[in-house]
Structure 1
Amino acid sequence: MYAELHCHSNYSFQEGASSVEDLLVRAHDLGYRALALTDHDNLCGAMHFAQVAKTLEMQSITGVEMTIKDGQDGKENSHLTFLAETKGGYSQLSNLISYSYVAADRRNPALDLKYLPGDLDGLILLTGCRTGRVPSLLTGGRFAEAETQLRQYLDWFGTDNVFVELQQNLVQGDTSRNRRLIDLARKLGVPTVATNNVHYHVSERHRLQDALVSIKNNLSLEQTHKERRANNQFYLKSPEEMATLFSRCPEAIKNTLRIAERCSFDLTKDLAYRFPDYPVPEDATPQSHLEDLCRQAAERRYGGVNQKAEDRLQEELWLIGKHNLAGFFLIYYEIIQMARQIMIEMGLSDAEIPLEERPPGRGRGSSVAMLVGYLIGLSHIDPLEYNLSLDRFLSDDLGSVPDIDLDFPRTIREELIVRVHRKWGWDRAALTGMISTYQMKGVIRDLGKALGLPAQDMDKLAKRVDSHDAKEMELEMLQLPEFRDKVDAPGWRDLIEMAAQLDGFPKYLAQHPGGMIISSSPLIDTVPVQQAAIADRYICHWDKDSIDQAGFVKIDFLALGALSQMQECLLLIEEREGNFIDLSRIDFDDRAVYETMHRADTIGIFQVESAAQMQAVPRIKPWNLTDMAYEVGAVRPGVGVNDGVTQFIQRRSEGIPWDYDHPLEQRALERTLGIILFQDQVNQVAMDVAGFTSLEADQLRRAFGKRNNDLLIQHYWEKFREGAAGLGVSEDAAQRIFQKFNGHYMFPESHAFAFGATAYHMAWLKYYHPLEFYVAIFNQQPMGFYNTETLKEDSKRHGITVLNPDINHSREKCIIRNESVLLGLRYVRGMGDAAATQAVAARDQGGPFKSLADAMERTGLQREIIENLVTAGAFDALNAAGTTGSMEKTETAKTAGAVGTAGIARNKGAVSRRQALWEVGLRYRPINTQQPLPLPVEQDMTELPEQSEWETMGEEYRILGLYPEGHLMALARPHLRPGTLSSRDIEAKADGDIVTVAGLVIRRQRPLAKAVFLTLEDEFGHIPLVVWPGEFAKYRQIIREPLLVIRGEVSRREGTMNIVTHHVEPMPTMKNLPKAKNWQ
């Protein structure tokens, strides 16, 4: 037998060509009992590797191949292989990796030799691959230096912990180098060990590995012969193959097993991490203090603890005690208190207001199911009222520390991160890592360059493909005329095949948008940490899943734009009406609010504003929070992939009969009518149907979430089939049930309730306080599904006017003026926060600006910004000649701005704007170092032709990102063919009618379903369109045009309307059109 001790996964970024799952499943099939992971200079995949190995009942050995800076001048690098034998050895390994990022550029880590001497107990050293210091010295004939270096390793690590590493990859020089290594080892009495420097699980993957090396070096395959490995022998070989290769040195094979036996450290259970301590009152324990806090809150929430709450509280407290999580919850409680203090300091709350009435943040995810979380302020949803299941978050056989996500308004989040760093210290608080992965467009461009394909073609293909799945690349190319003939051409076939392999591969370590970990001891003792791109911030090498599995306290500070919008909206209402609305006390059964959603009036409403949601809400017809949770949960990719959304709606709304594939599904799926809507149900089905434990079921769900994971999924299928058979489930039924699982995104059920509540809150605010709602949403852009022009049109449909910015009345942000939304100066292109504040400060200090010249002089703004303000209409109220203006425009301006044929009264004073721009040019004439002369400019003014309405709207959009008044379709409609209908006309059309419509594309979506969905906007509303695959293949390039004319058939069902597309053609285009949100 044999254990591979030098193995790279694709976490050796742009080097390893196989995933952790591929390597471990292959090793399992080959009869391996142990496998080491030794990725280059990081432990990013170590926890993932250890967890999958545990699932396969294999021993995982944690190691690394580290780059060493060991030349006399510090510039010569080599490699060494380290294996963690014990907990202490692992801690040293984590430290050394962290030091390697300190000693070098964070993008090219290298360990300075000065860090090696010291306490290295528990670490095993292998002398490395052919680029190791000792092997390379021997290859170069520098025998004395090689011996000196090996003796130094022995001094540092101890004679029992150093092994001379032999590799036989059938590369020229391997045999002679191994002979010299064996001679040196025997001379010094050092044992040898055989490894294969594995970079892929099967030999066929060498092509991808070659391409990755080329990508890493930013060269083509033809240019990287020296950098690439010489052949295809760096794969995971069977024990028999390795024994044959080292038949003359059998001890090197036996030593792999001896080392594996010594490496007792198990990353899944032996980490030395400990929660930070929480200071509790004297004579109290964390457990008793947490219970006291809960009971005090229950008194405020319920007026005492009723029996239902008491039973649930006792169950949760018992589980918390069993898993020693009281300190975990108290730390979150402390963080919520910190966030509350920030709110108070910002004037957003008052110390006298109870936390539950004005919480600083909101929980999301499965943690919302916790009554304890609800009581101490981590959630805004009462789990008792909605019977939320605890199992997904906290179970008897918990495999990792529960994950609590907290959403905060953006302003609170930024300050909170700073305070958490300050509280626990920079050595004990770090940002969560995130593995950036290859996506379709990057795969095409990077592989294309490596394969030597024309860059212009790669760029065009990357822009033209619409799928997010590289496995569909060939189909995509066949539908594109310019690429149809290339699918079998040399290089292109390689691109197609390797794209499917590379899609989803780890690319580099990045920073998680909101996650942090905190520790009671230095973090580098438990996980490597490196400098982030932002100064004074550090990133750990593990992503959120690995951190959860390691049992770390991870706090997710997520900046949810909807909460910032909600907070601002509530403050505006308080300013205008004098009272603060407690959203936790509003009526959750308000039929008027739900009826607006039934009409798909959901633009700007968190979670229910997408085209898919606008189709689903009228069909599901939610009437309460439970319905909202099911609606929010249903429209997820993981539900839609098996047509689950349609089936759920049909069963719920139409009463279509259905049955379980087996009665054991009933407990998990009864409430959702046999459809898996939530992550929790995947776990529950696996436990009920196949006898999985809670931990095994969660591991199964996570495995489905990994891309290109077929081998591990096959392993889980075998386990599922066997378990189901033991419970009397036939293989046919088990297979149908197993096929319901998929790796596409679904919500935990409690997460759906949390987001459903937020969606209802936003719908309530939009219905009862539309003006404040729109001011807040304009101020929080960018966020949501739609651009500001679409939001402006929606506000107009609700009776809210949007006004151009005004230099004498606008603030930095949008404000309410004359019961309208007055755009803030920040909306003006190029303005930015600093310039907007500068302009407002000048006006506040010196009073209203009396003329354009006055504003130019007092604000000191750059010429481009002044010109943009003029174009945006900010000076419409002032006379361009320099006299005091008024809010009213002249009759000339009004007449000039009217377009009778379109029916839109512009009132923009277009002549005044053009004259003002001329004046700006005159006053800014000096350039470079020229000195201005105080000469009058009036004599240089000239009469200018009027701007057309098209020009004015186009310029406004260029500067503001929206047309404050009117819609371009109102201008275009007189030029359309007779019979072209508007969205208002379509309302009267019956199911099956053939119609022609036209509009601006504001949304293109291509979900996992077969169809493509478009949303057109015209001057009256929206037109949803369905494009089936045949039509999409025919018109896929035309569909990219901003303005379309579409002929199709009206389809009405259950209160919704779509037009099924038959024919598509472009409208004549113009400059400065809004851009659609594409393919999301």
Structure 2
Amino acid sequence: MESPLINQIKNNYISDRVSEIDRDFLDFEEDMISKQDQERILSLIFLLNTQSEIKFPNPHNSILLYVCGLTDEFDFKKGRSNTVGGSPPDIDIDHDALDREGAIAWVTDKWGRDNVANIITHGTFKPKSLARSFYRVTEGDTQDLNNILKKIPPPKYGREATLEEIIEKNPAILDEEKYKEFYSFANTLEDMVANFGIHAAGVVISDKPIREVVPTWKNSKADLITQFDMKEVESLGLIKFDFLSIDTLSIIKECTKLLKLNQDIEVQPYSIADGNKRAYTMLHEGLLTGVFQMETSGMAKKLITRIKPTSIEELSDISALNRPGPLQAGLDKEYMNNRKSGYAPDNLPEGIAELLKTSYWTLIYQEQVMAICSEIAGFTSKESDDIRRAMGKKDVDVLNTYKKQFINGCTQRGGLTQSYSEELWDDLIGFADYCFVPETKILRPDENKNEAYPCQLIDLINDIDSEVVSVTEENKIINQKVQQRWHRGIQEVYTYTLESGESFTCTPDHKFKVVSGEFISIDTIFEKGLELYSIYEEKKADEKTGRNS
């Protein structure tokens, strides 16, 4: 039921202005405006009726102020209030694998056949398919084709090598006359659209016929498919829904049917209360078969057996912690320590502690990042969402545009110190990830010896299977495959010289292990005169005493 104040405000709408704006956003602002602001708008309307020449500024692009004639300022490119905005949400809906098609049919019946469409995918020409096509069409020498195919490395994590990468590894291809025509052909067609398909899970739902928004096509599998891919339809304002099929849900559904059929026991899975001790005892023992997102992850098993969760919220926390960034930042240990103590760390400001208390004062969710940006630094919802997306994409340029605003907001609005605000920003944008600058030397295992190479000489794209020498939590030296790399943009680096005379070059925030076992930035280590931890000194001691390390 609408408030009487909103009805009074509506009586002052200018019909021509209402027709200019998007009614959905006006409805949203009507629903969200507080009673206090309703009273303020009515006061301004009364003032305007007595002094018609008065016009007010519109810093938040309010639709209500505009349609009531209180302001002539309105940004139609935004078309809405700053209280909303940002990118469309990512909506993933999990379905029983056997009923997924039924769910899509229901959506189609609900919103109309013309308003629901599948999303196109574009298959593009890659060097391997181009080589086969070229030598088939030109009836070229089969041996030449085989020689080229041998020079193309296998895909790495689903990513095929580009022509440029292949040439970098095999520059002789450009020097041989017999390959020049193929190179020209491949260089022209690479990454052009070769074929079309349908996104495995995604559909778009529109409030108007899809054909009025994007061009469409059809094939033997679907009658209505967008000709724009998922990124392009999102940029046009359409919302993509992922209807995901989950086998675990099918198994649960089948088990409930069998219980009813064979034992006349009726079970409603969604009515089962959380916290069943027997179920969680099984998890604590590492028995994770059939547990979605947990059963195939060795690290998830390790975290569960250590943390021993007792609620679905804690299982969610573990799922969020089980990623390279949080693990390398030591957030799993921070989470366990805070959970054990039951208290927020002493150095955690009260405002931030309140936002993080549901995850034991550990920053692990994107929603928490957005809450800190909006409630501590004073960002709008749109700005907070922009930061979230930029973090996910490691878009350093976008993040840098917000850094000063964030630090100023934390100090002026949030009451944090300058130094803490700067550290908090670095943590938020992922500087806690364990990253290397190109000049940092990394030990790589050789057949006969360990040899150090500059990071920039390790091709992490085409040589992702390469190994580096690493150290486990138990301080054992092992060989470990490179899992990820992040590009941080251009950073200032400094050379640090140790008492031993050794020196190395890195960024001031690069973290090293000290004798206490903590990882601390190198600037802080030098500032406080802390002692670096040396795994090799311990290894030598182990060898002298006969210990195994």
Q: Return the TM-score normalized by structure 2.
A: 0.51
Residue 703 (str. 1) matches residue 151 (str. 2): no
- Measured against aligned partners, the alpha-carbon deviations of 1:720-740 in whole angstroms (never above 9, x if no partner) come to 334335445455433322232
Give 1:572's match in structure 2, choosing from 255, 258, 263.
258
Aligned-pair CA distance for 1:541: 2.0
1:462 aligns with 2:149: no
Question: Residue 430 of structure 1 corresponds to which residue in structure 2?
Answer: 117
Deviation at 1:558, TM superposition (A): 2.1
Cα distance change on mapping 1:320 and 1:420 into 2, 3 Å:
farther
Q: State the partner residue of 1:674.
A: 361
Separation (CA, whole Å) in 1 of partners of 2:315 and 2:363: 16
Q: Distance in 2 between matches of 1:710 and 1:445?
A: 35
How many angstroms apart in 1 are the aligned matches of 2:475 and 2:376?
39
**Match runs of 1:107-122 below 5 Å:** none
Kept in 2, the 8 Å contact 1:430–1:540? The answer is no
Question: 1-side partners of 2:334 and 2:124: how far apart?
Answer: 33
Matched, 1:416 2:103: yes
Shift of 1:573: 1.5
> Which deviations, in whole Å up to 9, do the C-alpha atoms of 1:323-376 show, x marking residues without a partner?
9xxxxxxxxxxxxxxxxxxxxxxxxxxxxxxxxxxxxxxxxxxxxxxxxxxxxx
Distance 1:736 1:655 in 2: 24
CA distance in 1, matches of 2:305, 2:193: 42
Q: Partners of 2:247 and 2:236 in 1: how far apart?
A: 30
Q: Secondary structure at the match of 2:427?
A: coil
- Secondary structure of the residue aligned to 2:385 is helix
TM-superposition CA deviations, 1:886-922 (whole Å, max 9, x none): xxxxxxxxxxxxxxxxxxxxxxxxxxxxxxxxxxxxx
CA distance in 1, matches of 2:124, 2:469: 25
1:295-374 matched pairs, under 5 angstroms: 321-322=31-32
Partner of 2:510: none
Question: Does residue 213 of structure 2 align to residue 526 of structure 1?
Answer: yes
> Aligned partners of 2:422 and 2:193: how far apart in 1?
34
* Other-structure match for 2:280: 594
Q: Which residue does 1:560 correspond to in 2? A: 246
- Rounded to whole Å, the distance in 2 between the matches of 1:643 and 1:580 is 44
The question of 1:513 aligning with 2:205 is answered no
Instruction: Indicate the residue corresponding to 1:1031 in structure 2.
Output: 479
**Structure 2 Cα separation of the partners of residues 424 and 580 of structure 1:** 34
1:737 is matched with 424
Q: Flag the 1:664–1:573 CA change in 2: closer, same or farther, 3 A.
A: same
CA distance in structure 2 between the aligned counterparts of 1:458 and 1:1027, rounded to whole angstroms: 40
SS at match of 2:248: helix
Matched AA of 1:413: R
- For 1:705 and 1:672, locate their aligned partners in 2 and report how far apart those are by CA, in whole Å: 20
Give, in angstroms, the shift of residue 601 of structure 1.
0.6
Once the two structures are superposed, what CA deviation does each residue of 1:757-794 show, in whole Å capped at 9, x if it has no partner? xxxxxxxxxxxxxxxxxxxxxxxxxxxxxxxxxxxxxx
**Which deviations, in whole Å up to 9, do the C-alpha atoms of 1:899-947 show, x marking residues without a partner?**
xxxxxxxxxxxxxxxxxxxxxxxxxxxxxxxxxxxxxxxxxxxxxxxxx
Letter in 1 for 2:314: D
Equivalent-residue separation in structure 2 for 1:532 and 1:1011 (angstroms): 51
Query: Which amino acid letter does the alignment assign opposite residue 230 of structure 2?
Result: D
Distance 1:488 1:722 in 2: 51
* Structure showing greater Rg: 1
> Are 1:607 and 2:293 an aligned pair?
yes
- Superposed CA offset, 1:1038-1058 (max 9, x none): xxxxxxxxxxxxxxxxxxxxx
Matched residue SS, 1:580 = coil
Query: Kindly tell me: are residues 520 and 674 of structure 1, through their superposed partners in 2, closer, same or farther at Cα, counting changes over 3 Å?
Result: closer
Instruction: Assess if the C-alpha contact under 8 Å between 1:661 and 1:736 holds in 2.
Output: no
**Helix, strand or coil: the match of 2:266?**
coil
- Aligned match of 2:398: 712
Residues 850-903 of structure 1: CA deviation (Å, up to 9, x unaligned): xxxxxxxxxxxxxxxxxxxxxxxxxxxxxxxxxxxxxxxxxxxxxxxxxxxxxx
Question: Given the superposition, is the C-alpha separation of residues 491 and 641 from structure 1 closer, same or farther in structure 2, using an over 3 Å criterion?
Answer: farther
Amino acid of the residue matched to residue 526 of structure 1?
Answer: V
1:113-132 matches, within 5 Å, as: none
Cα distance in 2 for residues equivalent to 1:685 and 1:630: 18
Tell me which amino acid in the other structure corresponds to 1:429: V
The structure-2 alpha-carbon separation of the partners of 1:617 and 1:1033, relative to structure 1 and needing over 3 Å to count, comes to closer
The AA in structure 2 aligned to 1:1031 is N
Q: Larger RCO: Structure 1 or Structure 2 (Cα < 8 Å, ≥ 6 residues apart)?
A: 2
The alpha carbon displacement at 1:600 in A equals: 0.3
Q: Does the CA-based 8 Å contact 2:469-2:479 persist in structure 1? A: no
Q: CA deviation at 1:487?
A: 7.3
SS at match of 2:99: helix
Counterpart residue number, 1:758:
none
> 1 CA distance for matches of 2:355 and 2:384?
13
- 5+ residue gaps in structure 2? 1-19, 34-81, 135-144, 175-190, 432-463, 483-538, 540-549
Superposed CA deviations along residues 593-634 of structure 1, whole A, max 9, x for unmatched, are 111110001122112212111111111111223323323332
The answer for the alignment partner of 1:407 in structure 2 is 94
Q: How does 1:1060-1075 map to 2 (within 5 A)?
A: none
**In 2 relative to 1, CA 717–586 (structure 1 residues): closer, same or farther, beyond 3 Å?**
same
Q: Aligned pair in 2 of structure 1 residues 584, 536: CA closer, same or farther (>3 Å)?
A: closer
Residue in 2 that maps onto 1:690: 377
Change (3 A) 1:1033 1:556: closer
Whether contact under 8 Å (1:514, 1:556) holds in the other structure is yes
Tell me what 2:329 maps to. 642
User: 1:414-445, CA deviations, whole angstroms, 9 ceiling, x for partnerless residues?
Assistant: 1332454456554332124568899xxx7999
Alignment-derived partner of residue 320 in structure 2: 633
What pairs with 1:27-176 in structure 2 (closer than 5 Å)?
none
Deviations 1:176-218 (A, max 9, x none): xxxxxxxxxxxxxxxxxxxxxxxxxxxxxxxxxxxxxxxxxxx
**Aligned equivalents of 2:97, 2:360: Cα separation in 1:** 38
* TM-score (structure 1 length as normaliser): 0.28
Unaligned runs of at least 5 residues, structure 1? 1-269, 276-286, 288-317, 324-394, 478-485, 493-504, 745-1004, 1014-1024, 1035-1061, 1063-1080
Query: CA deviation digits over 1:219-245, x for unaligned, max 9?
Result: xxxxxxxxxxxxxxxxxxxxxxxxxxx
Give the SS at the match of 1:411: coil
Q: Read off the aligned partner of 2:154 and give its amino acid letter.
A: A
What is the aligned partner in structure 1 of residue 225 from structure 2? 538
**CA deviation string 1:458-497 (max 9, x = no partner):** 44x436x679899xxx9xx9xxxxxxxx9797899xxxxx
Q: Is the 1:432–1:539 contact (alpha carbons within 8 Å) kept by the matching residues of 2?
A: yes
Q: Give, in angstroms, the shift of residue 646 of structure 1.
A: 3.1
> In structure 1, what residue type is equivalent to 2:213?
T
Count of matched residue positions in the alignment of Structure 1 and Structure 2: 350
- Give secondary structure in 2 for the equivalent of 1:1031: strand
Q: Once the 2 structures are TM-superposed, how far is the Cα of residue 706 of structure 1 from its aligned partner?
A: 2.4
> What secondary structure does 1:515 align onto?
strand
Q: CA deviation at 1:657?
A: 8.2
**Structure 1: how far apart are the matches of 2:192 and 2:353?**
39
Tell me the alpha carbon deviations over residues 148-201 of structure 1, each in whole angstroms, 9 at most, x when there is no partner: xxxxxxxxxxxxxxxxxxxxxxxxxxxxxxxxxxxxxxxxxxxxxxxxxxxxxx
User: What's the secondary structure of 1:427's corresponding residue?
Assistant: helix
- The one-character-per-residue Cα deviations of 1:549-570 (angstroms, maximum 9, x if unpaired) are 7554654422122111111121
Deviation at 1:517, TM superposition (A): 2.6
Report if aligned partners of 1:511, 1:532 keep a CA contact under 8 Å in 2: no
Q: Secondary structure at the match of 1:601?
A: coil
User: In structure 1, what is the Cα distance between the partners aligned to 2:112 and 2:280?
Assistant: 48
- Aligned in 2, Cα 1:668/1:489: closer, same or farther, shift over 3 Å? farther
- Cα distance in 1 between the residues matched to 2:129 and 2:417: 47
Q: Distance in 1 between matches of 2:157 and 2:149?
A: 18
Whichever residue aligns with residue 572 of structure 1, its letter is: L
Deviation (angstroms), 1:520: 4.5
Find 1:581's aligned residue among 237, 257, 267: 267
Shift of 1:678: 1.2
Residue aligning to 2:442: none
1:1011–1:567: structure 2 CA closer, same or farther, 3 Å change rule? farther
Deviation at 1:679, TM superposition (A): 1.5
